[in-house]
Structure 1
Amino acid sequence: MHTILPFLLAMVAAIVLLEIWATKLRIAYPILLVVAGLLVSFVPGLPHVKINPDLIFFIFLPPLLFEAAWSISFKEMKKWWRIIGSFAFLVVFFTAFSVALVTNYFIPGFTIVLGFLLGGIVSPPDAVSTGAIMKFVKIPKSASAILEGESLLNDASSLIIFRFALVVVNTGQFFWRDASLDFLWMVLGGAGIGLLLGWIFVMAHKKLPTDAPSDIALTLIEPYFMYWIAEQLHSSGVLAVVCGGLFMANRRLLFLNSASRIRGYSVWESFVFILNGVVFLLIGLGLPEIVDGIRATGMPLSTAIGYGVMVTGVLIGARMVSSYAAMVATLIFRPSVAPRASSRRRQLLMPLMLGWTGMRGVVSLAAALSIPVKLDNGGIFPHRDLILFITFVVILLTLVVQGLTLPYLIKYGRIFEGMHQESEEEAAKKIKRGLKVHVHQFLKNKYEHELHDHVGLQRLLTHWEEKLKTDNDDWMSDKTKAIYLEMLECQRQYLVELNKDATVNEEIIRSQLYQIDLEEERLKVI
């Protein structure tokens, strides 16, 4: 423990420094982390890093998915559910099928089943990488909602393909009827278990006398319960966490108070940042073991790299084809919801952007590492080391090549110029104006007879939207404070109702709710 602890502390410090450097360079920090891990892995004398797939699947994956479910706009997901569903399931299946055909044809001894196994591993794009890159470019809410929604669900579909292929490799048999029933149970069972546990957790928060620290502690363990219970029942732990997280996220105002929401946001932001950083650093640090495995098979390293480049090209090509197919299908069957561009050229470039956002990461690495060394009959698992190496090459190439070029593609391709979209500043001003009118009317209607005789209420009426900047809070009597808190709750209800409008940006709504929570917490210390 005393030898590994300094190494772990050094990892966290390196993650922080690399993230600062990445922000300064305006590139996604997962790219720098992977490259740094790759370079550090060649430094002699460092501990040999052996990545346990259970560590990633159980320790890292549940909280990362849970936090993503809390961050995404469920309203936007519902609006774009057709294209999100097609990318999360149909495109993943098509990608895995393409990988299976190409690898079976070009790699000697690589069967169709092994191709599907590899396809299931490398087909899901990584949510963290895409989100980190999107911080440096401005894209419409429709595009970001599609990418975020897809990233929540594609892990489940790819892991289902991976599991079925792994069973066939082990047993040599595949029964369509059993596979169909297992597939339905994994999807429906995982979603149902997540929703049920989400409801139970919401009730627990509401019924138990919890405070902010206990609320935050419960939210930290809840995704692990969802994932573990679903996996024990042989359904999809990924879907359980996603569905349970979405259920709880949309009820956060009902079971978490303002202190729990404010403090929980900061805790989860730091927690997820460290988890993401450790995983991407481990990807780079794991290279020596993977290279040693390839050399042990006697395959030239250049040949293995060529196979990795080939599979990467197949992945990019399959996603491009799928993106343009989705655009054509949308224009034919649902033209009213198709994003509008100022020119035909830019409309044709939009699927190119979606197709170029296929960076691979955490799930692909964990799935590849979870392949057993030996089959159930005691034989050596065929091409395991090659699959691991191809997966690493895919992760590295998609992160570095696509990750570094995507912002320039969007910026210099001028893909989103001329699209009819209200700016965030204008949308925020409109929401604030509506909020001010609503609260002004609320105070006048309910406390009109007290306004002329109560100084505190008069100040509330004229300055409610600004934070108080004076240390003199004598005017805030118990009566005024009670009315102020009631007014804040009135604002929350207004914003919740306003958010039901499909044209309103949910991120701005959440920002305003966060400001109201901060104001409520400020009142508690007066």
Structure 2
Amino acid sequence: MHTILPFLLAMVAAVVLLEMWATKLRIAYPVLLVVAGLVVSFIPNLPVVRINPDLIFFIFLPPLLFEASWSISFKEMKKWWRIITSFAFLVVFFTALSVALVTNYYIPGFTIALGFLLGGIVSPPDAVSTGAITKFVKIPRSTATILEGESLLNDASSLIIFRFALVAVGTGQFIWQEAATSFLWMVLGGIAIGLLLGWIFVQMHKRLPTDASSDIALTLIEPYFMYWVAEQLHSSGVLAVVCGGLYMSAQRLLFLNSTSRIRGYSVWESFVFILNGIIFLIIGLELPEIVSGIHAKGIPLRTAIGYGVLVTAVLIAARIISGYAALVATLIFRPTVMPHAASRRRRWLMPALLGWTGMRGVVSLAAALAIPVKLANGELFPHRDLILFITFVAILLTLLVQGLTLPHFIKRSRLFEGIFDEAEEAATRKKMKQGLKQHIYQFLKHKYENELHGHAGLEKFIQQWEERAKATDDSWMNDKTKVIFMEMLESQRAYLVELNKDPNINEEIIRHQLYQIDLEEERLKMI
């Protein structure tokens, strides 16, 4: 314990320093973290970091998925649900099938079941890597939503494939009828459990006398509980966390106060950053042990690297092919739902871009490490070390090759040139702020018309709305006006929620304004 704890603290410090360095170099921090972990792993006498395979999913996945489901816009997800679901399910299955067929043909002793197992492990792209990379280039809101929505759902589909393949490898048989029934229960049961537990947690927050600290503590526990309950009932823990998180995110204004929302945002941002950083470092730190396992099985390192490069090429090709297949199918069967494109060139380059965003990361490593060392009959799991090595190579190559070239690909292709309408976004903000001011004025006029006359504070507030934040003298604020201000802020929130129902309104702008209102409420509480 005295050896591991300083090492873990050093890992967290390294994550922070490397993230700052990556920002300065304008590259994605997962790339630096993996390379750093790889370099550190060759330092002698360092403690070996091992995580129980049974706990790897439970430690990392629930909070990462829960935080992602709170960050994404469900309104935007509904708008692009066709392409999101196709990439999250059909493309993942096609990728896993491609990996299974290729590895079965080229790798000696690699069965179709093992191929599907490997395919389920490496098929889901990593949202953290993509998000860290694309923050250095500007991409349209629709593209970002597709990538984020896909990342929420493809983890579930890939892990379902992983679980069925694991059973097939262990038992040596695969019964389609039982698999279909199990698949339906895993999907539908996971969704139902997540929504039910999400509703229960919302009621707990609303009815219990919680404060900001207890609210945040509960949100840290809730994703783990959702995942655990779903897995105990043999359904998808990933879908339970995602659906429960999406439901609670939509209800956040009803059961969390402004203090809980502001503090919770900071806590979760730091918590998820540390989890992501540690897992990417572990990816690099695990390599020497994986390589030793390869040598122990008598597989030459050059051969294993070749297998890894082959599988990585299959992953990239399968994703790009799927993107173009989806485009062609949409043009033929559903041309009316085709997203507006300014040019034919942009339309035919978009699948290549989506294909090139398939960096692998946290979920792939977690799934690979979760492979048991031995089968139920006591025999060693076949090709476990080779699967781990191929997974590591796929993660490393996609992060380095795709991750480092994606920003240049976007800039050089000029794919999104002219697609960003700054004037339109500015007009949206102007419309929102003007609507808020009119809404506030009407709210005060109708509800507090008698108090407005002769009250210097409220008159000043009405007349100098834009300059109120600059005022340094709060002596005009008394208990009565504070109550009115609080009601006014709540009325603004209701107005923004209603405004957000407009499909043309950018929800990110709405959320930013809601955050500003939360900050304003906290400022009033301090007066």
Shorter chain as normaliser: what TM range? over 0.9
Residue pair 1:460, 1:484 contacting (<8 A) in 2 also: no
Structure 2 Cα separation of the partners of residues 269 and 225 of structure 1: 20
Return 461-470 or 488-497, whichever deviates more: 461-470
Deviation, structure 1 residue 143: 0.6
Corresponding position of 1:289 = 289
- 2:432 paired with 1:431: yes
Identity across the alignment (%): 79
Corresponding position of 1:91 = 91
The amino acid of 1:397's aligned partner reads L
The amino acid of 1:268's aligned partner reads W
Residue pair 1:140, 1:421 contacting (<8 A) in 2 also: no
Structure 1 Cα separation of the partners of residues 277 and 283 of structure 2: 10
TM-score (norm 2): 0.97
Deviation, structure 1 residue 224: 0.6
Corresponding position of 1:479 = 480
How do 1:31-430 residues align onto structure 2 when only pairs under 5 Å count?
A: 31-419=31-419, 421=421, 424-430=425-431
Return 349-358 or 426-435, whichever deviates more: 426-435
Deviation, structure 1 residue 108: 1.2
Residue pair 2:356, 2:406 contacting (<8 A) in 1 also: yes
Corresponding position of 1:16 = 16
Q: Residue 424 and residue 274 in structure 1: after superposition, are their counterparts in 2 closer, same or farther (change >3 A)?
A: farther
Structure 1 Cα separation of the partners of residues 467 and 226 of structure 2: 41
Structure 1 Cα separation of the partners of residues 116 and 288 of structure 2: 26
Structure 2 Cα separation of the partners of residues 332 and 430 of structure 1: 38
Corresponding position of 2:470 = 469
Report the RMSD for the aligned CA atoms in angstroms. Answer: 1.4
Structure 2 Cα separation of the partners of residues 467 and 337 of structure 1: 46
Deviation, structure 1 residue 364: 0.8
Secondary structure of 1:468's counterpart equals helix
Structure 2 Cα separation of the partners of residues 69 and 146 of structure 1: 13
Q: Residue 39 and residue 74 in structure 1: after superposition, are their counterparts in 2 closer, same or farther (change >3 A)?
A: same
- How many positions carry a matched residue from both structures? 526
Structure 2 Cα separation of the partners of residues 51 and 38 of structure 1: 17
Structure 2 Cα separation of the partners of residues 51 and 399 of structure 1: 23
Deviation, structure 1 residue 53: 2.9
Secondary structure of 1:378's counterpart equals coil
Corresponding position of 2:512 = 511
Deviation, structure 1 residue 15: 0.5
Structure 1 Cα separation of the partners of residues 300 and 194 of structure 2: 46
Structure 2 Cα separation of the partners of residues 104 and 16 of structure 1: 41
Secondary structure of 1:100's counterpart equals helix
Residue pair 1:467, 1:519 contacting (<8 A) in 2 also: no
Q: Residue 292 and residue 374 in structure 1: after superposition, are their counterparts in 2 closer, same or farther (change >3 A)?
A: same
Structure 1 Cα separation of the partners of residues 369 and 451 of structure 2: 69
The amino acid of 2:48's aligned partner reads H
Return 345-354 or 94-103, whichever deviates more: 345-354
The amino acid of 1:451's aligned partner reads L
Unaligned runs of 5+ in 1: none
Deviation, structure 1 residue 366: 1.2
Structure 2 Cα separation of the partners of residues 334 and 435 of structure 1: 39
Instruction: Encode CA deviations 1:445-473: one digit per residue, 9 max, x unaligned.
Output: 33344433111111221334555333321
Deviation, structure 1 residue 138: 0.9
Deviation, structure 1 residue 174: 1.2
TM-score (norm 1): 0.97
The amino acid of 1:459's aligned partner reads K
Corresponding position of 1:525 = 526
The amino acid of 1:440's aligned partner reads Y
Return 447-456 or 172-181, whichever deviates more: 447-456
Residue pair 1:340, 1:420 contacting (<8 A) in 2 also: no
The amino acid of 1:446's aligned partner reads K
The amino acid of 1:276's aligned partner reads N
Deviation, structure 1 residue 421: 4.6
Secondary structure of 1:260's counterpart equals helix
Deviation, structure 1 residue 420: 6.5
Q: Residue 198 and residue 465 in structure 1: after superposition, are their counterparts in 2 closer, same or farther (change >3 A)?
A: farther
Unaligned runs of 5+ in 2: none
The amino acid of 1:391's aligned partner reads T
Structure 1 Cα separation of the partners of residues 364 and 10 of structure 2: 25
Structure 2 Cα separation of the partners of residues 395 and 467 of structure 1: 52
The amino acid of 1:400's aligned partner reads L
Instruction: Encode CA deviations 1:126-161: one digit per residue, 9 max, x unaligned.
Output: 111111112111111111111000000101100111
Instruction: Encode CA deviations 1:309-331: one digit per residue, 9 max, x unaligned.
Output: 00000000000011112222333
Q: Residue 197 and residue 44 in structure 1: after superposition, are their counterparts in 2 closer, same or farther (change >3 A)?
A: same
